[in-house]
Every structure is written in structure tokens, then in C-alpha cells.
Amino acid sequence: MTTDRHYVTTLDSQFGELMLVATDLGLRALAWPGESAGRLALPEEMTACPDHPVLVTARLQLQEYLDGRRTEFDIPLDLRGTEFQKAAWLALNSIPYGETTTYGRQAARIGRPNAVRAIGAANGRNPISIILPCHRVIGVGGALTGYGGGIDTKRQLLAFELEVSQSK
């Protein structure tokens, strides 16, 4: 299996067209409309391949999430970043659906309680938002802080998850 070949497809959503990128190892990125591929550290050349198994699984599970039928993801990931970034990104999976946490609690969760700013920076580089739910991380006073899809999208995702979780 190769890890340097990147496959791409899109998914229409209530937030616009999302771009999904995978390698043979797993999902590599989820990009918001207008989001820079450079921020996600993606190569310039990618092969359109909507039938790639990772992309098929990602599209299906994301659609289920967007329809309010899925609260957790089971998609292989191909994370690329520093060990700290990967730890920060994977810690996002422990935030329950429909709930939020702070950057400080996320830092403590990975054993680095003084790395609050570094957690914020790592979340800002999260290549697979929604699936690794950095939208669930908020400021200490409840303030919504930066998000790749924009603050309005973060607000909408949080409201959507709260509504779905309360209806179950």
C-alpha cells in the first residue's frame, strides 16, 4: 500500500461542499468550502476517486452524522503531524457528542496541562474536523474560538449536536 498517493471526493452538505482526501492508509483530510489545502498540508496533485474504500466509508458516515443518525465515527485515519498534534487530535475523540470541553481540559487529558496555547494551535491544524471534533472545544468562558469552517459553522454544529442528543 502506498501512502503518498492521495484520493479525493466531495460531499454536499448543509455547510457547503466538503472535500474528503484519503490515502490507502486512511482519511487524511476534510476540507471546508474555501479552506486552503496548504493549511491542511495536502499535495497539489490528487486523484479523483469517489469509489476509494476509505472515501466511500467517510462519505457514508459523514452523511449519517449530518442526518443526525451517527454520533461516533469509525474511519481509518492517516494523521500527519507532530506527536503532540496527533495526541491532541486523537484526544478530541473523547469529547462526548453534544458536549463541549475547554482547551485546558484537552491539554490535561493528554498529560500536558500547561500546553493550553499549544492545544489551540494543534486544533487549528486539525486536518479532519467534524470526525475529530475540534468544534467541541471552546474557550474557558464559553466563547467560541477559531474553526476551519468558520465560527458560524462551529455554532451550527454545536447547536445541531445538542438538538440531536436531546431528541434521543
Identify whether residues 100 and 143 lie together within a single domain.
yes
Domain boundary among 66, 92, 109: 66
Residue 15 domain-assigned? yes
Which residue is it, cell 494523521? Answer: 79
Q: How far is CA 128 from CA 57, 104, 105, 110, 112, in A?
A: 14, 21, 20, 19, 22
Residue 50 domain-assigned? yes
User: Is the separation of the CB atoms in 51 and 1 below 8 Å?
Assistant: no
Residue 51 domain-assigned? yes
Identify whether residues 92 and 157 lie together within a single domain.
yes
Identify whether residues 59 and 87 lie together within a single domain.
no
Residue 78 domain-assigned? no
102 forms bridges with which residues in the sheet? 138
- Cβ burial, residue 67 (10 Å; 0-12/13-18/19+): exposed
Active site residue 49: no
Residue 72 domain-assigned? no
Identify whether residues 162 and 101 lie together within a single domain.
yes
Res 37: pLDDT: 65
Residue 104 domain-assigned? yes
How many domains does the structure of the chain reveal? 2
CA atoms of 119 and 140, how far apart (whole Å): 13
- Could you tell me which residues come within 8 angstroms of residue 13 by beta carbon, excluding any fewer than 6 positions away? 62, 66
Residue 158 domain-assigned? yes
Identify whether residues 49 and 16 lie together within a single domain.
yes
Q: State the residue range of the domain holding 43.
A: 7-66
Identify whether residues 52 and 126 lie together within a single domain.
no
Identify whether residues 95 and 49 lie together within a single domain.
no
Res 2: pLDDT: 52
What are the tens digits of pLDDT across the range 87-135?
999 999 999 999 999 999 999 999 999 999 999 999 999 999 999 999 9
Among 134, 137, 157, 158, the one annotated catalytic: 134
Look up the CATH number of the domain holding residue 15. 3.30.160
- Could you tell me which residues come within 8 angstroms of residue 78 by beta carbon, excluding any fewer than 6 positions away? 3, 22, 23, 25, 26, 27, 28
Which residue is it, cell 468550502? Answer: 33
Q: The pTM is what?
A: 0.91
Percent of the chain with pLDDT over 90: 78
- Could you tell me which residues come within 8 angstroms of residue 41 by beta carbon, excluding any fewer than 6 positions away? 80, 127
What are the tens digits of pLDDT across the range 8-65?
999 999 989 999 999 999 999 999 987 766 667 788 888 999 999 999 999 999 999 9
